[in-house]
C-alpha cells in the first residue's frame, strides 16, 4: 500500500545545496532557521505517524539533530511546536516524551482498506429529530415538504480515549435504534441503511474546539481540531447521509490511499 500525496504538495528545491567542504562541516544548509525547524517538525511527525517512536517514548534533541542534519536550535524549535500541539510533552531536566497515539483515518471511507479504523469504535451520545436546513435538504436531495431530519451524534474512541466527535444527518425514514458502533463506515452503512457506499464527497479543514466539544474530547476550549464534512452516496449516486466530524489534531492524521 502506498500513500497518495497531492501533486501540488511536491515542491522543487529553491536552491541546490553544495555538499562540498566549502560548507566547513555544517550540519544544515544555510538559510532561514525557521525553515529548517519546519523540516525537522515534518520528519519527526512522519516518524510518529509511521510508529517508529513508541507511545510514551523519549525524543532526544542530540540524536534528532544528528539524524536530520540540523542544529540543536532547529530541533528544539520543532519540538516546541509539537509540544504546543499536544503531540509531545517537554519537561525540564527530563526531556521530550511522546504523549499521543495517532489514529490514521482515510480522507474518505469508500475504500475497503481503512488502516487503523478497525481499532476505533463509535458511541452514541445524542440522537434526535431536528429541523432541516436548506443545505441539508440540498445535500440529501429531500423533497421541499420535508421539515425535519434525524441527527445522531457519535464519539470516536481509540484505546479508550476520545479522539473525535461526529454529527450525522439523514432521512427520518430510518430510525435511530441500534445505530452500529462500527467505525468503518462502509460496514456501518451496509448494516444500518442496507446500502453500499458508491462515493464520498469530502471537505477537510481546521477549526478549534468549542466548549462542549472540548469537554467531551477532554481538551481545552479553543484547542486545534481537524474538521471534515462528508456526503455519502450509494452506488446509484443517491445521498445516504451528511456528516460533520471534529477530531483532535494531536491524535488523528488523515491519509489517502492508492494501490
Distance CA 253, CA 108 (A): 12
Angle between helix 33-49 and helix 72-84 axes, rounded to 10 deg: 60
The per-residue pLDDT for 181 is: 65
| pLDDT value of position 97 | 83
Structure confidence at residue 53 as a pLDDT band (50, 70, 90): confident
| Residue 70 and residue 123 in contact, taking contact as beta carbons nearer than 8 Å | no
> Cβ contacts of residue 87 below 8 Å, gap of 6+?
45, 48, 98, 99, 100, 250
> Per residue in 75-128, pLDDT tens?
999 999 888 877 888 888 778 888 766 777 888 766 544 444 557 788 888 999
User: Using an 8 Å Cβ cutoff, are 152 and 165 in contact?
Assistant: no
Of 116-120, 142-146, 160-164, 240-244, the least confident:
116-120
Please tell me the predicted confidence (pLDDT) of residue 55: 63
Backbone angles phi, psi at 130, to 5 degrees: -130, 155
Q: What are phi and psi of 95, to 5 degrees?
A: 125, -160
Q: Beta strands 103-106 and 252-255: pairing type? A: parallel
Q: Among 15-24, 50-59, 166-175, 177-186, whose mean pLDDT is lowest? A: 15-24
What predicted TM-score, i.e. pTM, was given to this entire model?
Answer: 0.68
Which domains, ranges and CATH numbers included, belong to the chain? 2-98 (1.10.10.10), 103-258 (3.40.1410.10)
* pLDDT over 50 at 209, yes or no: yes
Please determine, for residue 196, whether its predicted confidence score (pLDDT) is greater than 50: yes
- Looking at the predicted structure, is the pLDDT value of residue 29 above 70? no
Q: Which residues contact 62 (CB under 8 A, 6 or more apart)?
A: 72
Amino acid at each position: 500500500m502506498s500513500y497518495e500525496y497531492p501533486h501540488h504538495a511536491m515542491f522543487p528545491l529553491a536552491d541546490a545545496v553544495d555538499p562540498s567542504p566549502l560548507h566547513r562541516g555544517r550540519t544544515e544548509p544555510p538559510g532561514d532557521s525557521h525553515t529548517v525547524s519546519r523540516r525537522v517538525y515534518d520528519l519527526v511527525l512522519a516518524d510518529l505517524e509511521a510508529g517508529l517512536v513508541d507511545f510514551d517514548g523519549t525524543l532526544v534533541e542530540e540524536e534528532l539533530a544528528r539524524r536530520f542534519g540540523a542544529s540543536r536550535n532547529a530541533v528544539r524549535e520543532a519540538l516546541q511546536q509539537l509540544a504546543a500541539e499536544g503531540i509531545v510533552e517537554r519537561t525540564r531536566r527530563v526531556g521530550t516524551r511522546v504523549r499521543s497515539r495517532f489514529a490514521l483515518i482515510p480522507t474518505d471511507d469508500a475504500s475497503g482498506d481503512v488502516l487503523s479504523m478497525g481499532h476505533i469504535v463509535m458511541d452514541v451520545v445524542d440522537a434526535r429529530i431536528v429541523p432541516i436546513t436548506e443545505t441539508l435538504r440540498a445535500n440529501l436531495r429531500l423533497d421541499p415538504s420535508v421539515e425535519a431530519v434525524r441527527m445522531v451524534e457519535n464519539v470516536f474512541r481509540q484505546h479508550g480515549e476520545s479522539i473525535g466527535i461526529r454529527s450525522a444527518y439523514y432521512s427520518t425514514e430510518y430510525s435511530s435504534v441500534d445505530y452500529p458502533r462500527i467505525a468503518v463506515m462502509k460496514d456501518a452503512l451496509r448494516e444500518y441503511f442496507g446500502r453500499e457506499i458508491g462515493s464520498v464527497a469530502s471537505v477537510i479543514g481546521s477549526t478549534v474546539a468549542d466548549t462542549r466539544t472540548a469537554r467531551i474530547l477532554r481538551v481545552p476550549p479553543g484547542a486545534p481540531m481537524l474538521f471534515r464534512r462528508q456526503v455519502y452516496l450509494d452506488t446509484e449516486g443517491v445521498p445516504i447521509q451528511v456528516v460533520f466530524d471534529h477530531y483532535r489534531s494531536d491524535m488523528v492524521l488523515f491519509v489517502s490511499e492508492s494501490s
